[in-house]
């Protein structure tokens, strides 16, 4: 298939990889936060359910659109990626115990953000 320009209705060959990388970062962030606050390092002063509700629930909003490869969802989910990037940097800086988990969150959110932005730019729709 010949390469098309972004927005032309067809996707470029690299969009499959970018789609997978963005999903890897997104689902990795979701799994990491769930494991982090429920099993690995549960919060001491707040109920686990409250922390999971506040931190994991916003990640569920773009789930359907990202699984279906919708460019609009990928673009606005980047705002969420930046929020979780900030959370990972803060945790990596402030807590010695959670430093590896915070750095892993930074890695996942960087993959998510960069791949999602490139996927939107290429105009890909490989999930169809």
**Nearby residues of 13 by Cβ (< 8 Å), 6 or more positions away:** 1, 3
**What distances in angstroms separate CA 73 from CA 5, 22, 53, 79, one per listed residue?**
20, 12, 21, 10
Average of pLDDT values for 104-119? 97
Q: Is the pLDDT of residue 119 over 70?
A: yes
Question: Helices marked H in the chain — which ranges?
Answer: 15-35, 48-60, 63-67, 71-94, 99-122
CA angle in degrees (0–180, nearest 5) for 100-77-38: 40
Residue 1 — very low, low, confident or very high, per pLDDT cuts 50/70/90?
A: very low
Whether pLDDT at 3 is above 70: no
pLDDT over 70 (residue 91): yes
Share of residues in the chain with pLDDT > 90 (%): 80
When the pLDDT of each residue in the chain is averaged and rounded to a whole number, the result is: 89
Is residue 12 classed as helix, strand or coil in its secondary structure?
A: coil
pLDDT of residue 125: 61
Q: What percent of the chain has pLDDT over 70?
A: 86
Higher-confidence position of 83 and 11: 83
Q: Token pair 């606050």 is at which residue?
A: 37
Distances (CA, A) of 96 to 43, 44, 62, 100, 104: 15, 16, 31, 8, 14
DSSP state string for 36-66: IIIIIS--SSS-HHHHHHHHHHHHHTTHHHH
In tens, the pLDDT along 31-71 reads 999 999 999 999 999 999 999 999 999 999 999 999 999 99
């Amino acid at each position: 298939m010949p390469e098309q320009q972004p927005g032309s209705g067809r996707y470029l060959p690299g969009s499959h990889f970018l789609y997978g990388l963005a999903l890897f970062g997104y689902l990795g962030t979701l799994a990491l936060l769930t494991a982090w606050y429920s099993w690995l390092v549960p919060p001491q002063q707040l109920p686990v359910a409250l922390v999971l509700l506040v931190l994991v629930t916003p990640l569920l909003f773009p789930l359907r659109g990202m699984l279906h490869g919708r460019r609009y969802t990928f673009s606005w989910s980047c705002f969420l990626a930046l929020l979780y990037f900030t959370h990972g940097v803060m945790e990596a800086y402030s807590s010695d115990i959670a430093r590896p988990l915070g750095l892993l969150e930074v890695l996942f959110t960087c993959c998510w953000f960069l791949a999602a932005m490139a996927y939107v730019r290429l105009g890909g729709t490989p999930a169809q």
